[in-house]
Chains A and B, each alone.
Chain A
Amino acid sequence: MTTIVEARNLRKVYMLGKVPVEALRGVNLKVEEGEFLSVLGPSGSGKSTLLNLIGALDKPTEGKIFIEGVDVSTLNDGQLADLRRRIGFVFQFFNLIPRFTARQNVELPMAIAGLGKEERRKRAEELLKVVGLADRMNHKPAELSGGEQQRVAIARALANNPRFLLMDEPTGNIDSKNAMEIIQLVKRLNQEKGITIIMVTHDQRLASEANRTVHMLDGLIVDETVNKP
């Protein structure tokens, strides 16, 4: 198995006004290709910060992150943007563009990557079928339920064939029934399509759906469990 993400002694200090806040205090983590990893911890434990660093949205104060063996800290803004195109993000609040339809939202990352109209459209439709929204393609986010919106977000995250998906509390804003469905979808993507998934959650039940769970507390990984299928 190849290591797809590696974090070495990550530290991140935020300035909250004039007070420095240590969000990460030396995190070491390896994620293998094809894995479904959950990061579990209470709010303020630094799990979202870790996710942002892995997703190249932010830079660590100390330590290094390697994505497919490349040290992220050596990349400039343009290279970071290129890297992000190979990472699929799914956010707690969906973060869809409200004025676009489901299909247009899924097309967006492909448009950013410079794909042609026809190709985009075809792939967006395929992906929306995969997440079970074949009949909701031309609906805008406001016309979709929370669960449906998150499915659109997952389809969007898959648009550019990412190396891995990063999910930040993907079910945090969805009722439990829909949350379970989302998790089943994510599991299916992992098992059937072999997509590497890193999911942050504070929900023990959801975390246990992953192959492996790392437990975070106060900016450190304090425990690790391998879940039985």
Chain B
Amino acid sequence: MKITDIFSYAFSAIKLRKLRAGLTTLGVVIGIAAIVALLSITQGLQVAIATQLQKGFATDTLIVTARSESGFKLLVNDTRTIEEIDGENVTVSLAVILRTGYIKSGGRTSRVSIVGVNFTAYKEIYSSTFSAEEGDIPQNPENNAVVVGKRVSDPWGNGTLFCRTGDNVEIIWTNTTARPLKNETFTGSVVAVLKEVGGFSLGGPSDTSIYIPITQAQTFFGTEECEMIIVRLKNADKATIESTAKAIREAFGGQVTVTSSTAILNVISSVFSTIELFLAGIAAISLLVAGIGIMNIMIVSMMERTREIGILKALGMKNRQVLLIFLSEAAIIGLLGAVIGVGAGWGIAQVTVRIFRGGGSFGGGMRQTNQASLANGITISPVLTPTVLFGAIAFGLIVSLLFGLYPAWRASKLKPVEALRYE
């Protein structure tokens, strides 16, 4: 029997029981749709986060911090030490002083991160994100120059500005080492407002920080110590990253932690892979249920068609051909369900993302007002990779065939005489 004839025979049998076959197909559709929707949303989220991280966390950088348990402190001029250790691979190194304080403008006060950095070097490392939307970031800033993040200037995202370029603002920091506690203040002048960075920023510029020159930070906070040193390498090769990181660790006698952005990205992506696997596993359970549905309908169909199988065998059909007919029926249901399922899953992913965006949880638009949202400014677009697309279809097909195998095998083993006598 030709394979096309086997398929058309199987198809005619399915057509006879449209409702039942339709419901079974629906089971497969739901299973595959769940897998595709979950995976494409997760992958979309991963892409969105990775993009954000790469923006705020250049891949060719290392972050050097003091190991907290040792009491060791990094100094601002340790940047020179680092440049001496590996002048060949280090192109820029930059000390960062970080404090939490307040900015006061026009009678209103807002809590911010105060970041002391060398503007020129910072801009060199984070050229895409440490960039002015309004005003200019000066090469040789005055001591009172202040660069503010987008959300500091425009906290509600609706054009009602907290401060703008040219404003004089008061920077307030509480010195907790002094007794009694003492509020230090200075009057700064906003020279630039940064472009919106987006949700995540590890090391790089963020929307809720303000930036002051490193020399000003040293004076204002009364310290020579810094929280971290950002080192930019001449390239992002694994070998370069590893050798420089090792050299820096050794130079500081193991008192520092050197974190590479790439390593963090890798960790995040492996976390996502785990989440993906977990979600896909949950979705796969529903496909398993669908598979049992297929087995069920196929067994019923086999019993109902016992006599028909007897006729086919009397007409000279071989066991193998009977098996193939039943497997084809399972394959048609599985394939149809999988193809529709991929489409449905993709649709569900799109709708889900839009619903979340509308609710502001993922903060799709710039204009959203929910400031408390975890990741304001991240837009997720579901991602459907060819692997997921064809993988899902193949998976649906394989599950259907696996569960169709037993009924098909039973059908093929029916004895002609008994099958013909079956009422």
Q: Which residues of A contact B (CB under 8 A)?
A: 52, 55, 57-58, 77-78, 81-86, 89, 91, 95, 97, 99-100, 108-109, 111-114, 116, 156, 160
Contacts and interface: CB of A to CB of B under 8 A. Distances in A.
A99 B317 CA distance: 18
Nearest to B13: A99
A81 B318 contact: yes
Given A83-B316, A89-B314, 5 more contacts: A85-B315, A86-B316, A99-B16, A112-B312, A114-B2
B416 A58 contact: yes
A112 B317 contact: yes
24 contacts: A57-B313, A57-B314, A57-B416, A77-B318, A78-B318, A81-B313, A81-B316, A81-B317, A84-B313, A85-B315, A85-B316, A86-B316, A95-B310, A95-B311, A97-B311, A108-B312, A111-B1, A112-B1, A112-B315, A113-B1, A113-B316, A114-B1, A116-B2, A160-B316
Interface of B: 1-2, 5, 9, 12-13, 15-16, 307-308, 310-321, 415-417, 420
Nearest to B15: A99
A30 to B, nearest CB: 23
A73 to B, nearest CB: 15
A133 to B, nearest CB: 19
B16 A108 contact: no
A57 B317 CA distance: 12
Q: Which 6 A-B pairs have the closest CB atoms?
A: A85-B316, A58-B417, A81-B318, A84-B316, A109-B315, A57-B416
Contacts of B316: 81-86, 109, 112-113, 160
A216 to B, nearest CB: 18
A91 B310 CA distance: 12
A99 B12 contact: yes
A82 B320 CA distance: 12
A111 B7 CA distance: 12
A100 B15 CA distance: 12
A164 to B, nearest CB: 14
B254 to A, nearest CB: 75
A84 B315 contact: yes
A78 B311 contact: no
Nearest to B412: A77
Among A57, A81, A97, A99, chain B packs the most CB atoms within 10 A around the CB of: A81
A95 B319 contact: no
A95 B420 contact: yes
A111 B12 contact: no
A84 B311 contact: no
Contacts of B416: 57-58
A55 B5 CA distance: 25
Contacts of B420: 57, 91, 95
Contacts of A91: 420
Contacts of B317: 81, 112
Contacts of A78: 318-320
Contacts of A57: 313-314, 416-417, 420
Contacts of B312: 108, 112
A100 B2 CA distance: 18
Contacts of A100: 12
A81 B316 CA distance: 4
Contacts of B318: 77-78, 81-82
Nearest to A108: B315
Contacts of B314: 55, 57, 84, 89, 95
Contacts of A97: 308, 311
A89 B315 contact: yes
A111 B416 CA distance: 19
Nearest to A159: B315
A116 B12 CA distance: 18
Nearest to A94: B311
A84 B310 CA distance: 12
Contacts of B319: 77-78, 81
A43 to B, nearest CB: 14
A112 B321 contact: yes
Given A77-B318, A81-B313, A89-B314, A52 B417 contact: yes
Contacts of A109: 315-316
A85 B320 CA distance: 15
Contacts of B12: 99-100
A194 B9 CA distance: 33
A108 B2 CA distance: 12
A111 B5 contact: yes
Contacts of A116: 2
A83 B16 CA distance: 31
Contacts of A58: 415-417
A84 B415 CA distance: 14
A81 B314 CA distance: 8
A77 B416 CA distance: 11
A86 B318 CA distance: 14
Nearest to B307: A95
A84 B13 CA distance: 23
Contacts of B417: 52, 57-58
Nearest to B6: A111
Contacts of B307: 95
A85 B313 CA distance: 9
B37 to A, nearest CB: 37
Among B314, B321, B416, chain A packs the most CB atoms within 10 A around the CB of: B314
Contacts of B5: 111
Given A95-B420, A99-B16, A111 B313 contact: no
A91 to B, nearest CB: 7
A58 B419 CA distance: 11
